[in-house]
Amino acid sequence: MKKTIVLLLLYLSASSSVPAQGDKSDFVIIGQQNWGTKNLAVTTFANGEKIDEAKTNDEWINAGKEKRAAWCYYENKSENGATYGILYNWFAVTDPRGLAPKGWHVPTKNEWKQLISTVGTDGGTKLKNNGKWEAVGGQDRNGTNDYGFAALPGGLRSGPDGKFNALGSRGQFWTSTQNEYRDGFIVYLGINAPVSSGIANKSFGYSVRCMKD
């Protein structure tokens, strides 16, 4: 069976960056959870070691094949990182050196499920930022950002070919959980309201939204 990872993908929108430690403006309380309000954008592990940046398609593809941690900006443009944060492969998310800054962690599948239970499976519009989402047929698809989560449509990077797509239409987030087949879990929000979950290949690049410990 082809190995895949489950991500928590949010087809959402908002501003993204590194969660600042101890700054209350960078997290919101939703139910019993403290969620970051920005997509992760760190380029070093929690122990200070550098994470490899994969700029070319070959660099990204090889990192996946070799099961090495890697990150990139969407289309390798730093200005996209300033808005949407960074895309990481699964190997960066689960590296024992720790992807999340001190005091934060990458949520598990069950923690994402708890968020969805709080806002409802049709609560994507409430989680999405009120900007950056593509209109469909002339209809505004931005969110109301009721909870301050400010989910952004940061797009993705394909593992097999290194190509970028879905900026503006999908916010897709890795979880730190594998299923029984050693695949990874994801949750996602798109231009429509529902919140969904699924699986994704570990070599793909997706956003990460952290929680406070």
pLDDT at 8 over 60: no
Residue 101 lies in a domain: yes
Whether the CB-CB separation of 13 and 151 falls below 8 Å is answered with: yes
Domain count, the chain: 1
Closest CA to 212 of 40, 94, 8: 40
Residue with more model confidence, 23 or 174 = 174
pTM of the shown model: 0.88
Instruction: State the Cα–Cα distance between residues 176 and 163, nearest whole angstrom.
Output: 23
Residue 1 lies in a domain: no
pLDDT at 27 over 50: yes
Q: Which domain holds residue 24?
A: 7-212
pLDDT digits (tens, 9 = 90+) for 139-188: 899 999 999 999 999 999 999 999 999 999 999 999 999 877 677 778 78
Residue 2 lies in a domain: no
pLDDT at 25: 58
Contact partners, residue 88, CB within 8 Å, separation at least 6? 40, 51, 69, 70, 71, 99, 174, 205, 206, 207, 208
pLDDT at 109 over 70: yes
pLDDT at 6 over 60: no
